[in-house]
Structure 1
Amino acid sequence: MARFFPSRSIIASTFSGHAVLLLLSLSALMIHADIQRIELVSGDVYEGELDQGMRTGQGRLERRDGAWYEGDFVNDQMHGAGTYTWADRRVYQGTFRHDKRHGVGALRWPNGNLYEGAFLENRRTGTGRFSWANNDIYEGQFLNDQMHGKGLYVWSDGQRYDGMFRDGVKSGRGILTWPTGNKYEGQFLEDQRHGLGVLYWSDGTTYQGLFALNQMNGFGVRTVPNEEAAFQRWRMGDLLEAWPIVESERCRLQIDSTPWMFSGSSCINGHAHGTGIAVSVDGQAYIVNGRFVLGRLVQGDRKTLPAPESP
């Protein structure tokens, strides 16, 4: 429906956005309701549909800072499907809710980075995919613009991490695989191997034990193909002690009907006796500073190691 205005300037304002409509004419001016041009108090310019003086429907908003938006409006707000382009040429294409990126969309940076996925009140939150200009790719959960939750990160060189993230870095349980074929499976903290885990080498060697700051640190079991397994003690990547894991007839020890290796103060009548270290022959558990009496554990805290994959 066409609207007619007298031949003088007309200023119309709304409660939301304080839009100012300036119409100058020497005679009666006919303006179609579906396409109108509004200059806002802020200096932004809107061209599009209005409903009862409010930006509602399809339109284009050009901001003073050089950004612009094209898409749906409801009650003077970006709401629905649209495209927002910043002055620095970042581009978001997707859904909006009450002037914010909300729902599903794609955000592209001028350098080639691209995020596709869920948004919540302007932030990348939910399930999404982020690809970097250097060909790194992450697919998984996001929270407040950070990788957070379960996800898969693949580097351009072939390295990959499948596991938990927290605040943008690897934290929690995950699997890190190198292009060489080496692999770590276990706990991470603040982007580093930290806690219990298993490290696999491509030649078949494994280490199952404790890590700190990407280093073997504490007790663990190292297994090398065609060699005896060894129980080891490490300090930040330096090997301090090692004991071969073999059952000794001279100093037998069984816990829960499972044979254990014992290295301690003494053996009596062929049985482990006194204080020392014990490791299950299968390398799945160990006891440090245990107390033993004639082949029986009477005091000590048994620690379990993560089991390596079957060959």
Structure 2
Amino acid sequence: MSSKRSKRRKEAKSKEVKKDLTPQFVNCDLADNKYSGIIREDHLGSQFLEGLSSTYIWSTGTKYEGPFIASQIEGRGKFTWPDGSKYEGELLGGRRNGDGAYEALDGKTRYDGQWLDGKRHGQGKLTYNSDTTSYYDGGWQAGQKHGYGKQLWPSGNCYEGEWKLGTMSGHGTMIWRNGTSAEVYTGEWVDNCPHGEGTHTWLTMDPSTDAATTESWLNRPASPPSAQVTGSPGFNSQQELRRHEAQIHATQQLNNRYTGQWVWGRREGTGTFYYANGAYYHGEWKGNVKEGHGRHTFDDGKVYDGKFEADRMVDYSRPEPSAKSLDDNPICGCTDITDMEVILRPSDKAGFTQTPGSGYSDPVKILKGIYNVLLRNLGDLREGYSRSRSVQPQLGE
């Protein structure tokens, strides 16, 4: 008798284990939250949220649409928050992980790119307005701009280069725009300030350059470091800056340039300032002004080598011109820039098929190039001429 009862108990247990394990689609409340999707039950009676198309709404109003795997949010899904912001992309363990797009509550701010543990990490583009005229495109680390990237402001100002934990730090180029003029700094940065070695150039846009060309250069897309372009692990932006100088700049005499050391956004240390008129200064700087020992070469070739205080030459006295020196230039008036037209090389296209870039067919561009070269070296030329005149015997001596 006892053996029969034992047999019946075993059969009952077997029936309990062999439950219907077919997944069921349900709409239910789970701890004040709402779930629509599949609930799977395993052989031990444990239940799991499962399936590719599920919806889970928290009591706070946050909504998730997408897959569940063993009650974990994993795969490609969509989150919508009560304020209207949303995320659509890859998820792991309920966090943004992989490629995805986030749109803020204003409907304008948007990030498209890579994520790790719920934070922007890897490569991605953060756009600040609906017309995409202001954005950051580049590297991220733990939610902060990090690595190489380009930042464009609504004003048109632009930085392209290295970032560190959310700040412009490393090597980069900044362009400040103001109508037809612009300023460009290329060099080292620390915490959003020029710091270290760098070059600051004051530019005036060439009136002959059409607006579309200027815009396309200043707003060119970010380009990562490339040894193939620069010949070293440098920045394409620097190569582009040099390549387009002739096209973007006005005539060379309109540009001032400082090359040297910087401390927290100020000229400080040793540096050289090249003036638009051909003069230049090389020496010590402090707080953006000449301070200490330096050498100033005037536009007429004369030189002051001595002490500077608060941007002024301490021991300099301007010499009075003598009557004799007024007319002692033997080449004055003999050569004008237009005289060079007769020595320009003729077009090398005669008798050959027209080939773009074969050279020398535009005298205006050639003259402008020669003119800019002369202006860039005007100070040195005048200094050399002044020295040579000082050692030559003068008329009547």
* Residues 50 and 68, structure 2, Cα contact 8 Å, conserved in 1: no
Q: Which is helix-richer, 1 or 2?
A: 2
* Residues 230 and 243, structure 1, Cα contact 8 Å, conserved in 2: no
* Residues 79 and 99, structure 1, Cα contact 8 Å, conserved in 2: yes
Which residue is equivalent to 2:184?
160
Which residue is equivalent to 2:170?
149
Q: Using the TM superposition, give the Cα deviation of residue 186 of structure 1 relative to its aligned residue in structure 2, in angstroms.
A: 0.3
Which residue is equivalent to 1:132?
153
160-169 or 65-74: bigger deviation: 65-74
Q: Using the TM superposition, give the Cα deviation of residue 171 of structure 1 relative to its aligned residue in structure 2, in angstroms.
A: 0.8
CA distance in 1, matches of 2:70, 2:52: 12
Supply the AA of the counterpart residue of 1:173: E
Q: Which is strand-richer, 1 or 2?
A: 1
Give 3-state SS (helix, strand or coil) of 1:186's partner.
strand
CA distance in 2, matches of 1:205, 1:237: 15
> Unaligned 5+ residue runs, structure 2?
1-21, 38-48, 204-253, 319-378, 382-397
RMSD after superposition: 2.6
Supply the AA of the counterpart residue of 2:51: A
Which residue is equivalent to 2:79?
61
Q: Using the TM superposition, give the Cα deviation of residue 227 of structure 1 relative to its aligned residue in structure 2, in angstroms.
A: 3.1
CA distance in 2, matches of 1:103, 1:121: 9
Q: Using the TM superposition, give the Cα deviation of residue 65 of structure 1 relative to its aligned residue in structure 2, in angstroms.
A: 3.0
1:171 aligns with 2:195: yes
Give 3-state SS (helix, strand or coil) of 1:34's partner.
strand
* Residues 56 and 65, structure 2, Cα contact 8 Å, conserved in 1: yes
1:72 aligns with 2:109: no
1:100 aligns with 2:119: yes
* Residues 50 and 70, structure 2, Cα contact 8 Å, conserved in 1: no
* Residues 36 and 55, structure 2, Cα contact 8 Å, conserved in 1: no
Which residue is equivalent to 1:46?
64
1:173-188 to 2 correspondences below 5 Å: 173-179=197-203, 180-188=254-262
Rg (Cα) greater in structure? 2
> Unaligned 5+ residue runs, structure 1?
13-18, 25-30, 245-308
Q: Using the TM superposition, give the Cα deviation of residue 21 of structure 1 relative to its aligned residue in structure 2, in angstroms.
A: 4.3
Q: Using the TM superposition, give the Cα deviation of residue 41 of structure 1 relative to its aligned residue in structure 2, in angstroms.
A: 5.0
* Residues 50 and 67, structure 2, Cα contact 8 Å, conserved in 1: no
1:113 aligns with 2:130: no
- 1:85 corresponds to which of 103, 106, 109: 103
Supply the AA of the counterpart residue of 1:162: T
Q: Tell me the matched-pair count.
A: 233
CA distance in 2, matches of 1:21, 1:55: 15
1:9 aligns with 2:28: yes
Q: Using the TM superposition, give the Cα deviation of residue 10 of structure 1 relative to its aligned residue in structure 2, in angstroms.
A: 4.6
